[in-house]
Amino acid sequence: MDTYDYPYTEDYNNNSTDYPYIEEPCSNERIVVIENFLQLFIHPIICCAGFIGNTLVILTYALYKRTKSMTDVYLLNVAIADILFVVALPLIIYSEQYGWTMGNLSCKLLRGIYSVNLYSGILLLACISGDRYLAIVQARRSYRLRSSTLLYSHLICAAVWILALLLSLPTFVFYERYQPGPIHHSHENSTDSHSNDIPYVCYFLFNSNETAIAMKTGVPSSQVVMGFLLPLLIMGFCYSSVIVTLLRAKNFQRHKAVRVVLTVVFVFVVCHMPYNIALLYYTINMFQTQECSHEEAVSLTMSITRSLAYLHSCLNPLLYAFIGVNFRNHFRKILRDIWCLGKNYMSARRSSRFTTDMYLSTRRSVDGSTNDNGTSFTM
C-alpha cells in the first residue's frame, strides 16, 4: 500500500508513543496562564493608576492652567497619549478574553490606537528632553524663541502624532480578526469540526510569505529603533548636557534638579529597556527552529517586561507633571476647590469661614507660583 515508503525510512520501533525524538507542536498553556494573570490583575491596576494620574493632568490643564510654555503643550500631549493607551488596554484585554466579539474593525482600531499612543507617548518624552535642553543649555539663544512662539511646539506635536500614525500603519493594515491554527488540508477521515470552537484572535495575517517576513521583522524592529533607541539617544544627549550645565550653575536647587533629571531617565530605561531587549532577541530568533522550553522562556520574559513598559504610562504624570512645583500648586488648587465645593455642598453654613481662609491661601500660593520661570523640575 505504501508505495512511497522506502526501507531506510523505517521507524526504529513500532511503539511510537514513547518515541523520544518526536517533535510535537509546542503548547503555550503556561504562557496563557501567566498572560491571563497579568491581564486580569496587573494591567487593571496600571490602567486605573494611569487613568487617574493622566486625567488629573488633563483636568489641571483644562480648568486651571493654560498651556503657556512648550513644556506644557508636550506634557498635555503625553497625558493624552497615555490616557488613550490606558483606555485602549482594558478594551484589548476584554476583547482577547472574549474572542474579539466586537469584530474586525475593533481589532484593527484597538491595536492601531494602542500602537500610535505607544509611539507618540515615548517620542513626546524625547521632545520634552529637547525642550529642557533648549531652556537650560541654550538658555540665552532660545529665550526669545521659546517665549514668542507656542506654535513650534504645536507643530512638533502634530509631527510626532503623524509619525506615530505612520509607524503604526502596518498594524492598522495587517492586523485581522481570524481563527488561528494551521491550514487544514488532508485527512483520511475528513470529518473535521475543529474550526468552529477555536476562538478568534486579533493578530497579523499576511497574503504572502514575503510580506510576512518583512512585516514580522520590520514592525518589532521599528518599535525598538523608533520607540526606544532613538528617544533614548535624544534623552541621553539632552539630559546629560542639562546635567553638565546645572552642575556648573550656582543655584541652590541644582542638586534637586539633577536628581529629577536622573530619575526621569532612570525610570524610562528601567521600564522600556527589558522589553525592548526581549523583543529584539525574539525578533532575531523568529524564523529559526528552537526548543519549546526556550520559546516559552522568551515569551514569558516578553509578557512580564511588557507589563513593566506599560507601567511607564502611569508614572509619567508623577515624573513630569506633579514633580514641577508650578504644576503642583495648580493641582492643589483643584483639590482645594473640590474640597471646598464638597464642604459647601454638604454643610454650607458650618464651613463658610473655613473655605474663605482656604481660598485666600490658595490665591496666595498660586499667585506666588506664577512668577517663576516655569521650568518643570524645580521641586
Partner 1 sequence: MRYWTMHFQSSKMVVKICILAFVTLLIFQVETEAGICCLSYTKRPKRCALLKGYDIQAITGRCDLAAIIFHTVKGKSICADPAQSWTQMRVECLKMKAAEVKVISSGHPI
Q: Give ∠ CA 342-344-350 in degrees, rounded to 5.
A: 125
Nearest distance, CB of residue 182 and partner 1, angstroms: 4
Task: Considering the complex, state which of residue 11 and residue 250 has its C-beta at the smaller distance from partner 1.
Answer: 11
| HSE (side-chain half, CA atoms, 13 Å) at 363 | 6
Nearest distance, CB of residue 151 and partner 1, angstroms: 34
For 374, the 3-state DSSP assignment is: coil
Nearest distance, CB of residue 238 and partner 1, angstroms: 30
Long-range contacts for 354-361 (Cβ within 8 Å, ≥24 apart)?
none
Task: Considering the complex, state which of residue 216 and residue 256 has its C-beta at the smaller distance from partner 1.
Answer: 216
Which string of b and e fits 63-90 if b means at least 16 CB within 10 Å? ebbebebbbbbbbbbbbbbbbbbbbbbb
Q: Which amino acid is at 66?
A: R
DSSP 31-86: HHHHHHHIIIIIHHHHHHHHHHHHHHHHHIIIII----SHHHHHHHHHHHHHHHHH
Distances from the Cα of 291 to the Cαs of 182, 285, 299, in angstroms?
Answer: 19, 11, 12
Task: Considering the complex, state which of residue 169 and residue 205 has its C-beta at the smaller distance from partner 1.
Answer: 205
Nearest distance, CB of residue 211 and partner 1, angstroms: 8
Nearest distance, CB of residue 198 and partner 1, angstroms: 6
Task: Considering the complex, state which of residue 211 and residue 241 has its C-beta at the smaller distance from partner 1.
Answer: 211
Task: Considering the complex, state which of residue 32 and residue 159 has its C-beta at the smaller distance from partner 1.
Answer: 32
Task: Considering the complex, state which of residue 178 and residue 237 has its C-beta at the smaller distance from partner 1.
Answer: 178
Nearest distance, CB of residue 308 and partner 1, angstroms: 18
Nearest distance, CB of residue 96 and partner 1, angstroms: 7
Rounded Cα distance between 33 and 37, Å, is 6
Rounded Cα distance between 138 and 150, Å, is 17
Rounded Cα distance between 96 and 32, Å, is 11
Nearest distance, CB of residue 268 and partner 1, angstroms: 23
Distances from the Cα of 66 to the Cαs of 52, 61, 80, 97, 143, in angstroms?
Answer: 20, 6, 16, 41, 20
Nearest distance, CB of residue 208 and partner 1, angstroms: 7
Task: Considering the complex, state which of residue 207 and residue 373 has its C-beta at the smaller distance from partner 1.
Answer: 207
Q: Which amino acid is at 291?
A: E
- Cα radius of gyration (the chain): 27
Task: Considering the complex, state which of residue 152 and residue 339 has its C-beta at the smaller distance from partner 1.
Answer: 339
Q: Please choose, from the candidates 212, 238, 211, the residue with its C-alpha nearest in 3D space to the C-alpha of residue 128.
A: 238
CB 344 within 8 A of CB 351: yes
Task: Considering the complex, state which of residue 44 and residue 236 has its C-beta at the smaller distance from partner 1.
Answer: 44
- Work out whether strand 175-178 and strand 201-204 pair parallel, antiparallel, or are unpaired: antiparallel
